[in-house]
Structure 1
Amino acid sequence: METTVEQPVLARLITAEDQEIPVSATLRYTADDPLAVFVDFPAEASLEGEDVTWTFARSLLDDGLRAPAGHGDVQIWPYGRTRTVLEFHSPHGMALLQFQALALRRFLLRTYQAVAPGQEDVARVVERGLSALFGGV
Structure 2
Amino acid sequence: MPTMIEQAVQARLVAPAPRMETVPATLRYDSEDPFAVRMDFPAPATLEGTDITWAFGRELLATGVDEPAGSGDVRVRPYGYDRTVLEFHAREGVAVLHVRTSELRRFLRRAQGMVPAGQEYLHLDLDQDLADLLRDAR
User: What is the TM-score with the length of structure 2 in the denominator?
Assistant: 0.88
Percentage of matched positions with identical amino acids: 47
C-alpha displacement of 1:128 = 2.7
Separation (CA, whole Å) in 2 of partners of 1:112 and 1:129:
26
What is the alpha-carbon root mean square deviation over aligned residues? 2.3
The corresponding residue for 2:23 is 23
Q: Does 1:124 align with 2:106?
A: no
Show CA shifts across 1:22-46 (max 9, x none). Answer: 0000000000000000000000111
Q: Structure 1 residues 38 and 126 mapped into 2: Cα distance closer, same or farther (>3 Å)? A: farther
Contact 1:13 1:96 in 2 (8 A): yes
Q: Does 1:97 align with 2:119?
A: no
- Residue aligned with 2:97, SS: strand
Deviates more, 1:124-133 or 1:72-81: 124-133
Which amino acid letter does the alignment assign opposite residue 48 of structure 1? E
Which amino acid letter does the alignment assign opposite residue 129 of structure 2? R
Q: Structure 1 residues 118 and 13 mapped into 2: Cα distance closer, same or farther (>3 Å)? A: same
Q: Structure 1 residues 115 and 48 mapped into 2: Cα distance closer, same or farther (>3 Å)? A: same
Q: Does 1:87 align with 2:87?
A: yes
C-alpha displacement of 1:134 = 6.4
User: What is the TM-score with the length of structure 1 in the denominator?
Assistant: 0.88
Unmatched segments (≥5 aa) in structure 1: none
